[in-house]
Structure formats: structure tokens, C-alpha cells
């Protein structure tokens, strides 16, 4: 049995870094009190241990997960890493430790304290990504289709395939303002990069004209007798309205900006 430790693991915030935390947990025969990214670490009375990301160790853990507990467990862990679940790194570590003990049955242990929070968080992620596939609104800015979102979860990796297949010959960017990241796409080459401080340029007169036309169309097709704001909000949550052309203030403008410079991708895209 591993020792229940008061130590806090600190890692670089990447999925490979988290896998190295799993490796360290077994190597040291301990279960950490918490697992925290370096940029989110706060001073504490508990001792901390810095876990250095080692690609060899991370690959060993990554390869072992589908072998020991099945592909469904790996998929759950990877998607859980994209969620806004509090203490998600520790939750994933505990889930994987449980999986090494119970094998493929772990993904069916839906009431277990180490499984239920991850399943719930991933469902929230997948629902949000599903809604964004319908709620994302692009604008033509400087020859590029551009959109902004503010999701609760890190939804860009789940949106990438949908929009790349939908607009295979276009150039577009989807900016996640919450995390300072952007999905950049030019024909058949998608990348997710860091984009802190990135702001979209102002819309020109042609784009503003199309926005007005879309609002007129949206208002015109409504059946007046079926106008039901409460029902609309149940299908179209209000937190998405800010960036929806038909619902936001079309006169709102943002500061001038440019597309983020090419960078090393920060997340892999399936």
C-alpha cells in the first residue's frame, strides 16, 4: 500500500508532466496530497516536490494505460485534463492508480470517488464543445475567418476536427480568450498555439454589413407567436451570446490587432 503523503507535487502543467507525476507516485510509493502546476502553485506549509518532465517516463506511463485498463480509460484521462475540474491533476492521478489495480473495469466504476468526478467533468466538456460547434460565429477580418470564444473548459482540441473538416480550404483562427490560446488553420495544417494578449482587428464596413444582414434574417424567421426567451436560454445559454452575431451589439468594436505569430503547438490535435 502506498503511503498517504503530505507532499505536494509540482509539475509544468503539461499532460506529459502529469504522467511523470504518476510515475513518481509509484516510484516513491506515495500518494501526494495535491498535484499543482508550477504557475498555479501557492505557498503552503506542506512540503513540495518538483517533478521534472521526462519524455521517457511519460511515454512509459502513456503506453501502459491502454494495456492495463483499456483505451477508454486513456481517453477519459486525456479529456479530463482539458476540463475545468478543480484539482483535476490529482483526480486523474488517483483515477489512474485505481485503474492499475482494477484494470478495464475502472471505467465502469461510475460511483467510485476517483471516477465519478472525472466522468461528470468530461461530460461537461463534451457538452460545451458540442454547443460551441453551433454557437461559434466567424467574421471575415483581413482575409481570415476569425472567431472568439470564452469556454469554461479547454475546448479547442475537441473543436479542431469539426471546423477543419467544415472549412478545409479556408484560413481561420478561433481564439480562446479564457486561456490565451488559438486554433490556427490554413489548408490541411491545424495548430493550437499560445496567444496571450491577442486581439482581433476591427471589422470593416463589408463585415459590418453582413452582420446586419444576418441579424435581419435571424429576426425575420422568428415565429412571433412562439417567442419564448426562457426556452431559448435553455438551448442557447446566455454566456455564449457575447460572441454570437445575432445577439451581440454589432457596433461593439475591439482594439486593432494581428494574428498571433507562429509558435510551437501547445496541444496536440487528433
Digit-coded pLDDT (tens) for 90-101: 999 999 999 999
Residue 77 has pLDDT above 80, yes or no: yes
Query: Predicted confidence band at 196 (pLDDT cuts at 50, 70, 90)?
Result: confident
Q: Is the pTM for the entire model greater than 0.75? A: yes
Tens digit of pLDDT for each residue in 105-139? 999 999 999 999 999 999 999 999 999 999 999 99
Which carries the bigger pLDDT value, residue 267 or residue 57? 57
Residues 184/190, Cβ–Cβ less than 8 Å: yes
Tens digit of pLDDT for each residue in 203-217? 999 999 999 999 999
Q: Residue 151: which residues within 8 A CB-CB, separation 6 or more? A: 128, 129, 132, 176, 178
Which carries the bigger pLDDT value, residue 266 or residue 11? 11
Which carries the bigger pLDDT value, residue 260 or residue 74? 74
Which carries the bigger pLDDT value, residue 110 or residue 44? 110
Coil, helix or strand at residue 140: strand
3-state secondary structure labels for all residues of 2-65: CEECCCEEEECCCHHHHHHHHHHHHHCCEECCEEEEHHHCCCCCCCEEECCCCHHHHHHHHHHH
3-class SS shares of the chain: helix, strand, coil, % to 5: 45, 15, 40
Least confident of 103-112, 199-208, 251-260: 251-260
Average pLDDT, the chain: 89
Annotated domain spans of the chain: 3-124, 131-243
Residues 243/150, Cβ–Cβ less than 8 Å: yes
Residues 147/174, Cβ–Cβ less than 8 Å: yes
Residue 250 has pLDDT above 60, yes or no: no
- pLDDT value at residue 247: 87
* Percentage of the chain modeled with pLDDT above 90: 73
* Percentage of the chain modeled with pLDDT above 70: 90
* Number of other CB atoms surrounding residue 133 within 10 Å: 14
- pLDDT value at residue 150: 96
Query: Predicted confidence band at 3 (pLDDT cuts at 50, 70, 90)?
Result: low
State how far the Cα of 43 lies from the Cα of 190, in Å rounded to an integer.
Answer: 38
Amino acid at each position: 500500500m502506498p503511503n498517504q503523503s503530505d507532499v505536494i507535487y509540482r509539475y509544468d502543467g503539461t499532460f506529459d508532466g502529469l504522467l511523470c507525476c504518476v510515475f513518481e507516485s509509484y516510484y516513491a510509493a506515495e500518494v501526494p496530497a495535491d498535484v499543482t502546476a508550477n504557475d498555479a502553485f501557492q505557498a503552503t506549509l506542506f512540503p513540495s516536490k518538483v517533478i521534472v518532465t521526462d519524455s521517457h517516463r511519460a511515454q512509459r506511463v502513456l503506453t501502459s494505460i491502454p494495456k492495463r485498463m483499456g483505451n477508454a480509460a486513456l481517453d477519459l484521462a486525456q479529456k479530463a485534463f482539458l476540463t475545468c475540474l478543480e484539482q483535476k491533476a490529482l483526480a486523474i492521478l488517483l483515477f489512474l492508480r485505481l485503474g492499475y489495480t482494477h484494470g478495464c473495469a475502472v471505467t465502469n466504476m461510475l460511483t467510485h470517488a476517483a471516477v465519478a468526478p472525472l466522468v461528470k467533468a468530461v461530460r461537461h466538456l463534451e457538452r460545451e464543445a458540442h454547443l460551441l460547434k453551433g454557437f461559434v460565429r466567424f467574421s471575415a477580418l483581413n482575409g481570415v475567418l476569425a472567431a472568439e470564444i470564452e469556454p469554461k473548459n479547454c475546448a479547442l482540441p475537441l473543436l479542431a476536427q469539426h471546423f477543419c473538416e467544415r472549412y478545409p480550404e479556408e484560413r481561420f483562427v478561433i481564439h480562446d480568450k479564457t486561456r490565451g490560446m488559438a486554433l490556427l488553420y490554413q489548408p490541411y495544417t491545424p495548430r493550437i498555439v499560445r496567444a496571450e494578449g491577442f486581439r482581433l482587428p476591427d471589422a470593416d464596413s463589408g463585415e459590418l454589413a453582413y452582420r446586419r444582414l444576418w441579424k435581419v434574417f435571424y429576426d425575420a424567421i422568428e415565429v412571433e407567436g412562439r417567442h419564448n426567451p426562457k426556452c431559448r436560454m435553455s438551448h442557447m445559454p446566455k454566456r455564449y451570446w457575447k460572441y454570437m452575431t445575432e445577439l451581440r451589439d454589432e457596433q461593439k468594436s475591439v482594439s486593432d490587432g494581428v494574428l498571433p505569430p507562429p509558435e510551437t503547438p501547445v496541444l496536440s490535435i487528433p
